[in-house]
């Protein structure tokens, strides 16, 4: 079983989008049973809140449900619980490094570092463009899945 935690700041826009897009990809390839996926935020600001309507709309357009998801902040035990803690932007990695007190097991990654054009996921909180965020997330998830396959993790 491979365990993946997608991480952003608030856990209402980018990381839940990655969580549900990645779960959908796994489901379509019959891989759901061997990969556990969740998401969390580095901040407690949005804890308990549902997925942002802009993200929910992008998912719904593709028949992907995020029903029941509530934002949560990362906890210390996430570092031992998950195999891959995948941030959406550079700042998420810096915040995780500080929160977990380092990355001794090399579990911290940035999603689009798995792609051929490494960059941060476009932040819809500032751009208002959830479609662009979807394109970034979808590219990142596809490349991350290919990485896991190459590494023979799934």
User: Which residues make up the interface to ligand 4NP (CB under 6 A)?
Assistant: 8-14, 41, 45-46, 125
**Nearer of residues 5 and 13 to ligand 4NP, judged by Cβ:** 13
Residues in CB range of 84: below 8 A, 6 or more apart? 2, 3, 4, 5, 107, 109
Supply the Cα-derived Rg of the chain in whole angstroms.
14
Q: 97 φ, ψ to 5°?
A: -55, -45
Least CB distance from residue 5 to ligand 4NP, whole Å?
Answer: 14
Q: Which of 24, 95, 123, 136 is catalytic?
A: 123
Q: Which of 13, 14, 35, 110 is catalytic?
A: 14
**Quick check: is 123 catalytic?**
yes
Least CB distance from residue 18 to ligand 4NP, whole Å?
Answer: 9
**Quick check: is 8 catalytic?**
yes
**Nearer of residues 45 and 131 to ligand 4NP, judged by Cβ:** 45
- State the residue number with the nearest CB to ligand 4NP: 10
**Nearer of residues 45 and 146 to ligand 4NP, judged by Cβ:** 45
Render the burial of 118-141: b for 16+ CB within 10 Å, e for the rest: eebbbbbeeeeebeebbebbbbbb
**Nearer of residues 46 and 113 to ligand 4NP, judged by Cβ:** 46
Q: Which of 8, 13, 35, 141 is catalytic?
A: 8
Q: What is the DSSP string of 90-122?
A: HHHHHHHHHHHT--TT--EEEGGGGSSS--PPP
The set of catalytic residues is 8, 14, 123
């Amino acid at each position: 079983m491979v365990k993946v935690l997608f991480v952003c700041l608030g856990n209402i826009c980018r990381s839940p989008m990655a969580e549900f897009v990645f779960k959908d990809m796994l489901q379509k390839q019959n891989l759901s049973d061997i990969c556990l996926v969740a998401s969390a935020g580095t901040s407690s600001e949005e804890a308990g809140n549902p997925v942002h309507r802009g993200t929910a709309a992008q998912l719904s357009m593709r028949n992907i449900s995020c029903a029941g998801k509530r934002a949560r902040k990362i906890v210390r035990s996430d570092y031992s619980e998950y195999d891959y803690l995948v941030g959406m932007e550079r700042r998420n990695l810096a915040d995780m490094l500080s929160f977990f007190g380092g990355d001794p097991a090399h579990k911290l990654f940035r999603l689009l570092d798995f792609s051929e054009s490494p960059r941060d996921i476009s932040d819809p909180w500032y751009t208002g463009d959830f479609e662009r965020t979807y394109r970034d997330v979808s590219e990142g998830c596809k490349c991350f899945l290919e990485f896991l396959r190459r590494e023979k993790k799934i």
